[in-house]
Structure 1
């Protein structure tokens, strides 16, 4: 069942990028558009992981 939910989310994302975005005056977030709840903790974790990746890349220089 998880795969079906992921496929549905992906189809909604494709609708977002392909059809809806050019016609909107106010653009909601992708999470709001797809109906997924916003999780500030998960978002912060993703941002921190991205910065950690950048820090590791810069440290290799």
Structure 2
């Protein structure tokens, strides 16, 4: 589901990849972990958007049932 806050992470992930290659082994591990966090944050935002939409739907159903 597209997010209203959806950002294209391609540029950021590409830059993180470049930084990881420039920083050697320890830097690579660090920047790789940062990239993974960024990917997970994007997935979490999509999940939050989905849950917010479902909550709106449930509230509308409840309002119809009680109103």
TM-score > 0.5 by shorter chain:
no
- What's the TM-score, normalizing by structure 2? 0.35
Which of 1 and 2 has greater Rg?
2
Name the structure where helix makes up a greater proportion of residues.
2
